[in-house]
Structure 1
Amino acid sequence: MEKILVTTDFSANSKAAMRFAIQLASQKEYELTFFHSYSVSNLSSMSDAEFTAYEKKEAEKIQKKLNQFVEKVYIGIGVDSKSNKCVIKSAVLTDSNIREYAVKNKFSFICISTRGSGKMKKIFGSNTSNLIRHSAVPVISIPYNYRRSEVTNILYASDFFNFDFEFNKVMEFATPLMVGVDILHFKPHKAVVPNLQNITDNINKYPEFAVKLHIGTLNMVESLQSNIQSVIKRLKPSMLIMFTQQNRSFLDKIFVGSKSVNYSFYAKVPLLVFKKINDK
């Protein structure tokens, strides 16, 4: 069974990721683990033995808080919570803690809530952007104001590089959900789409699904986020899928930016991010 690691910091915003994961598990049999990363500091003159006892006591409090927090979310949406797992793990860096736990325990996805932040926070990283940039496990980023609703259609934004690999990944996710898939590509004005026949052949492998191709001309006056958002307003997808290039230099990230990372700060729908195949 595939597994989703659902992160929470006990905030109201973090409930968005929890609601989405619960909804997804109601449509396909996913095993959910709710995860909280914490850190306990020795800010006094406690001995090692005293601090160990104190840390254990704090961990017990945090575990109880997580159990109760998750239970309340399930009760709030009227779903049975008996099959969920709640895990806490201590570490200084939250995003590294999440990534390491997800890889070690072979999770299929990491699900985390996000919301907009300032320019420098976007550059130097929030937990969500750091996960998208560095996680070997695909990340599902959920807008903080998400309200639970059935996933019925998916928008896949593609640059058409490594299309065969990426489209197969999209369909592996979409097929068990039995949802429609819209493929979105923006091309520069008067540009010719390469390998269009190969793209069409891949789509035709799934005749039982409503897979539609949308090729638009990029509006150079607007940002890519705005171009995508205009299509989202028209097609109203349940979620967006993108692939990101993780192995770029620090200066690239500042002056160019990962399109999927940047989009995560403005997303109006849940965003699933895979890393591109040519990442090391």
Structure 2
Amino acid sequence: MNDYIELNFKKVEKILVTTDFSDHSKSGLRFAVQLAAQNTYSLTFLNVHHLQTPSAWDAVRMDEYEEEQKELIHSRLVLFVEEIYAAMHMEPRTIQYAVELSVLPESRIVEYAEENSFDYICISTRGAGVLKKFLGTITSTLINQSKVPVIVVPHDYKIGTIKSILYASDLDDSENELIRVVSFAKPLQASVELLNFTSEPWKEENRKIFESRIDKIANYPVSINITEKKQDDHLLEGIELAVKKSEPSLLIMFTHQSRNWFQNVFYAGNSAEYSFHTKVPLLVFRKA
């Protein structure tokens, strides 16, 4: 199946959608299907399977067994995805299936995405409560290792039209980041809200200058939310409150804002003290 179509002469972006056949993984598939329904995305559904085989087998028997199992898993994957589409009352468009064998699923997902030039990786998370659990081990590894942007979808995500995006930024590289955010939002016709936390109040004159600059950069409607926070306020708590208030369809963050800034939200030791109850998917762009 071709990866390009004649649509404004633009390359069709590709999303790698991972599943382990569990119920919680269905949320990631649903989100990807919804994305593809609102824009022209090519979806590849991937299962990475750890296959246990007897060590006494020779190489020929091992290869035969692996091929047999891959065919069985492929059939299961097709059925699993078809059931998702049927439940959503949608028809598949540009989709493919892939089965990979590996003892390290997160590493193979990253390798497969980079080898095949995917634009995004979409993965569900078991998450409930504490942020570390929200991310999960595999998801955290993907975010840390993958050069491909990662979409993290909570297991209890309720499907709906993607209408609004909350972009949390430290403003260190807002120009380049905003271009990527708008590039993602515009085809979806989704609104964009830029969220920044500051320890010092902004003067009205500086705010107007900043809003004018953002307007020129984005060439797309972007609302500005500059929020004051105390020195001891945790960023995670502030982001969670902002999510609850604006109820976006998607939260976008960048690891290459100050890396310490991102880690303060996701990986700082005291972040475990806070619960992250949002049911909003998270899109993480990594440093270029």
TM exceeding 0.5: yes
Structure 1 pair 199–100 and aligned structure 2 pair: CA distance change class (3 A) = farther
2:216 and 2:174 mapped to 1: Cα distance?
A: 14
Where does residue 11 of structure 1 map in the other structure?
22
1:271 and 1:50 mapped to 2: Cα distance?
A: 43
Where does residue 151 of structure 1 map in the other structure?
162
Correspondence for 1:257 among 237, 259, 263? 263
Structure 1 length normalisation: TM-score? 0.85
C-alpha displacement at 1:115, in angstroms?
Answer: 2.7
Correspondence for 1:38 among 25, 29, 49? 49
C-alpha displacement at 1:225, in angstroms?
Answer: 1.4
Q: What is the number of equivalent residue pairs in this alignment?
A: 271
Unaligned runs of 5+ in 2: 1-11
1:39 and 1:45 mapped to 2: Cα distance?
A: 18
On the 8 A contact 1:264/1:271 being kept in 2, the answer is no
Structure 1 pair 136–114 and aligned structure 2 pair: CA distance change class (3 A) = same
1:122-271 pair list within 5 angstroms? 126-190=137-201, 199-205=210-216, 209-245=220-256, 257=263, 259-260=265-266, 267-271=278-282
2:57 and 2:34 mapped to 1: Cα distance?
A: 45
Cα deviations by residue, 1:157-205 (Å, 9 ceiling, x for unpaired): 0000011111111111111111110000011145779x85664234223
Cα deviations by residue, 1:8-45 (Å, 9 ceiling, x for unpaired): 00000110010000001111100111011112222352
C-alpha displacement at 1:223, in angstroms?
Answer: 2.5
Cα deviations by residue, 1:97-118 (Å, 9 ceiling, x for unpaired): 1111111111110000113379
2:266 and 2:38 mapped to 1: Cα distance?
A: 25
C-alpha displacement at 1:264, in angstroms?
Answer: 11
On the 8 A contact 1:34/1:86 being kept in 2, the answer is yes
Structure 1 pair 258–97 and aligned structure 2 pair: CA distance change class (3 A) = farther
Report the secondary structure of 1:183's partner residue: strand
Alignment of 1:60 onto 2:78:
no
C-alpha displacement at 1:81, in angstroms?
Answer: 2.2
Report the secondary structure of 1:86's partner residue: strand
Structure 1 pair 121–206 and aligned structure 2 pair: CA distance change class (3 A) = closer
Amino acid at match of 2:58: S
Report the secondary structure of 1:137's partner residue: coil
Unaligned runs of 5+ in 1: none
Amino acid at match of 2:102: A
Structure 1 pair 274–18 and aligned structure 2 pair: CA distance change class (3 A) = same
CA RMSD of aligned residues (A): 3.1
On the 8 A contact 1:174/1:181 being kept in 2, the answer is yes
Structure 1 pair 130–238 and aligned structure 2 pair: CA distance change class (3 A) = same
C-alpha displacement at 1:134, in angstroms?
Answer: 1.3
C-alpha displacement at 1:83, in angstroms?
Answer: 3.1
Amino acid at match of 2:265: K
Runs of 4+ in 1 over 3 A off after TM superposition: 117-122, 189-193, 195-199, 206-210, 219-222, 245-248, 260-267
1:75 and 1:64 mapped to 2: Cα distance?
A: 17
Report the secondary structure of 1:159's partner residue: coil
